[in-house]
Structure 1
Amino acid sequence: MATRFDPFQELDRLFGQVLAADRASATMPMDLYRSGDHYVLHVDLPGADPGTIDVAVEDRTLTIRAQRSPRTDQDVQWLAKERPSGTYARQLAVGSGLALDRIEATYTDGVLTLTIPVAEEAKPRKISVQHGAPTAIEASTSA
């Protein structure tokens, strides 16, 4: 049985800080799975301002940023305020084998979906074996 190649080796690395990573996973929970020849990443971003969502790739790091604006209603007495606001970021270190230049992103119903294709050179492929006629080996004697 062959080992499956996983290009997402260090999934959660937000600016190298454990506390920041905990905050990111709490404010940007995600699901990641492989489907055929691509990976699908779903990131929950409810209430994010759609114009602030930014997805970038630099080197082998995928960065997702989004902003939730705080409510600024006047003459309000807050009884509970648990929904976070501000700018949030999450970084994922990805290995080789992905076509990072062909990522597709959509944002629907508060969920950012990234479709990340597997690079052509990383896809499994069959190598055909050519069959040829056996060649005779001639022995020579030298004196």
Structure 2
Amino acid sequence: MAMFFDPFREFDRVAEQLFDRQGPRLMPMDLYRDGDHYVLSADLPGIDPGSVDIDVDGQLLTIRAQRTGRSEEGVKWITRERPTGAYMRQLNLGQGIDTERITATYENGVMSVLIPISEKAKPRKIEVQRSGDSSQTLTAPELTS
């Protein structure tokens, strides 16, 4: 049987056991903009979707999840690298986000959160009217020059 040894992973495992880390763990995520919304994808493998809690307080988005471990009596662990416990991630959404329309889905261990941009924050054209009968539509770059 082939074995992989990563001294840093082993150091992290030993440190967690020594210091009995009970605080929330960080979940890896990707965040990108796709058109008129942002997409947040967070890795949460083995999480019960019912344990996930997503809330928005002002402009602060918080994702919480819980992974429970196996607690079988008489089991002697050979290795235990899959951490259990609470996971948490917080993001400051900033201005221009429609917090009322945020949605989330969980599929294949990945939590996807769609964060729409508000209508007020989207680029738009402004119509400039002349003092005569005709009107002209200018785009934002033309207004600055």
- What TM-score do you get using the length of structure 2 for normalisation? 0.72
Residue 95 (structure 1) aligns with: 94
1:46 is matched by which residue type in structure 2?
P
For structure 1, the residue ranges without an aligned partner over 5 or more in a row are 1-19, 135-143
Q: Distance in 1 between matches of 2:49 and 2:111?
A: 10
Which of these two proteins has the greater Rg computed from alpha carbons?
1
After TM superposition, which residue ranges in structure 1, 4 or more long, deviate above 2 angstroms?
Answer: 131-134
Q: Give the RMSD, CA atoms, in angstroms.
A: 1.7
Q: How many residues align?
A: 111
Show the counterpart of 1:121: 120
CA distance in 2, matches of 1:122, 1:133: 31
Q: State the distance in 2 between where 1:46 and 1:59 align.
A: 29
Q: Counterpart in 2 of 1:39?
A: 38
Residue in structure 2 matched with residue 139 of structure 1 by the alignment = none
Aligned residue type for 2:70? R
Question: Which letter maps to 1:29?
Answer: P
Deviation per residue, 1:7-46 (Å, 9 max, x gap)? xxxxxxxxxxxxx79x41xxx1100000100000000000
**CA displacement at 1:115 relative to structure 2:** 0.4
**Matched residue SS, 2:82:** coil
Alignment identity in percent? 55
Aligned partner of 1:43: which letter?
A
Superposition deviation, residue 65 in structure 1: 0.3
User: Displacement, 1:76?
Assistant: 1.2
Q: Secondary structure at the match of 2:50?
A: helix
Mapped partners of 1:115, 1:94: distance in 2: 12
Higher relative contact order structure (alpha carbons within 8 Å, sequence separation ≥ 6): 1
**Which letter does structure 2 place at the counterpart of 1:37?**
D
Residues 1:74 and 2:62 are matched in the alignment: no
Q: Which residue of the partner structure matches residue 139 of structure 2?
A: none
Residue 100 of structure 1 deviates from its aligned partner by: 0.8
Instruction: Report the AA paired with residue 30 of structure 2.
Output: D
Higher helix share: 2
- 2 CA distance for matches of 1:133 and 1:122? 31
Gaps of 5+ in 2: 1-22, 134-145
| 1:62 matched residue in structure 2 | 61
Q: Distance in 1 between matches of 2:95 and 2:132?
A: 40
